[in-house]
Amino acid sequence: LPYFEVVRAAFIPAIISYIALIYITHLEASKLGLKGLPKDQIPRFFKTLFRGLHFLIPMFYLIYELMILRHSPQLAAYRGIQALAVLIVLQNLIRAYIAKESLKDAFKLSLRQLWDALVAGGRNMMGIGVAVSTAGIIVGVVAMGLGGLIVEVIDTIAGGNLVFLLIITAIASLILGMGLPTTANYIVMASLTVPVIIQLGQDYGLVIPAIAAHLFCFFFGILADDTPPVGLAAYAASAIAKI
């Protein structure tokens, strides 16, 4: 499925989610009496924007690779990383040239920054590695024919009721998401429940697009990160906010 089709299907739900998030944040801030920074402490918008405007180049290049050239996500991400690396080196060299500093030191700084980025990227990939390992197990289970048996069990529990099946899928996604990364959670639920959702829809005379069923599983997989008692997203947010 082309990346553009995924974006088009998820665009309106994403906008609605962000509107709800902004509205809830505003209500909570008003209830707690929280206020923003004074005007004199807020950085000037256009000055801040133009200082980092060049960092939009890799992002737009990534979108160009995905939507215009229709390259695979892996190739697009690889070329986007290359563009960002070149941009970091050029940025440091240009700044050193304008400040009449050593270009050699600027180049060494660029290499050090790139190395630190690679190290941080490797650490961040640990979670994805867990997801990929889990995905391999699920693919093996489905390929061995056990997936069909599990699907039949889920169908039996739902009793042929599509709404009940969606509720089971949502609850299972929330529970699995407490111990699995979002990607692994989505792969598990999509492999086991999406075929049943589509089939039950056909039995009721409904045409359920496959991408709608997949996005349903993905949504509750993401929501699992906010669900107690684990709430991994809260830990990530507190680390960013330094709370």
The pLDDT value given to residue 224: 79
Q: What is the mean pLDDT of each run of 10 residues along the chain (243 residues)?
A: 82 91 91 84 82 85 86 86 90 89 91 90 73 64 60 72 83 75 76 80 83 88 76 70 69
Q: Which of 215, 164, 208 is nearest to 189 (CA)?
A: 215
Domain locations along the chain: 1-12+41-101, 127-243
The pair phi, psi for residue 51, each rounded to 5°, is -65, -30
The pLDDT value given to residue 206: 81
Distant-in-sequence, close-in-space partners of 58: CB < 8 Å, separation ≥ 6: 80, 81, 83, 84, 87
* Contact yes or no for 89/71 (Cβ under 8 A): no
User: What pTM was computed for the model?
Assistant: 0.66
